[in-house]
Amino acid sequence: MKEISCKLLVIGAGPGGYICAIRAGQLGIDTVIVEVGKPGGTCLNVGCIPSKALIHAAEEFEKVSHMASGKSSLGISVTAPVLDLTRTIAWKDAIVSRLNSGVAGLLKKAGVKTVHGWATFRDGKTVEVETETGMQMVRAEAVVIATGSAPVELPFLPFAGPVISSTEALALGEVPKRLVVVGGGYIGLELGIAFAKMGAKVTVVEALPRVLAQYDAELTRPVVKRLSALGIEVMTGAKAKGLSTKGDALLVETSDGKNAKLAADKILVTVGRKPVTEGWGLEQIDLDKAGKFIRIDDQCRTSMRGIFAIGDVTGEPMLAHRAMAQGEMVAEIVAGHKRGWDRRSVPAVCFTDPELVTAGLSPEEAMAQGEIKIGMFPFAANGRAMTKLGEDGFVRVVARADNHLVLGIQAVGQGVSELSTAFGLALEMGARLEDIAGTIHSHPTQGEGFQEAALKALGHALHV
Please identify every residue annotated as catalytic: 443
Q: Give the C-alpha separation, 245 to 253, whole Å.
A: 16
CA nearest neighbour of 88 among 176, 199, 174: 174
3-class secondary structure per residue, the chain: CEEEEEEEEEECCCHHHHHHHHHHHHCCCCEEEEECCCCCHHHHHHCHHHHHHHHHHHHHHHHHHHHHCCCCCCCCCCCCCCCCHHHHHHHHHHHHHHHHHHHHHHHHHCCCEEEECEEEEEECCEEEEEECCEEEEEEEEEEEECCCEEECCECCECCECCEECHHHHCCCCCCCCEEEEECCCHHHHHHHHHHHHCCCEEEEEECCCCCCCCCCHHHHHHHHHHHHHCCCEEEECCEEEEECCCCCEEEEECCCCCEEEEECCEEEECCCEEECCCCCCHHHCCCCEECCEECCCCCCECCCCCEEECHHHHCCCCCHHHHHHHHHHHHHHHCCCCCCCCCCCCCEEECCCCEEEEEECCHHHHHCCCCEEEEEEEHHHCHHHHHCCCCCCEEEEEEECCCCEEEEEEEEECCHHHHHHHHHHHHHCCCEHHHHHCCCCCCCCCCHHHHHHHHHHHCCCCCC
Instruction: Round the CA-based radius of gyration of the chain to a whole number and report it.
Output: 24
Q: Give the C-alpha separation, 289 to 296, whole Å.
A: 9
Q: Which residues pair with 250 in a beta bridge?
A: 243, 262
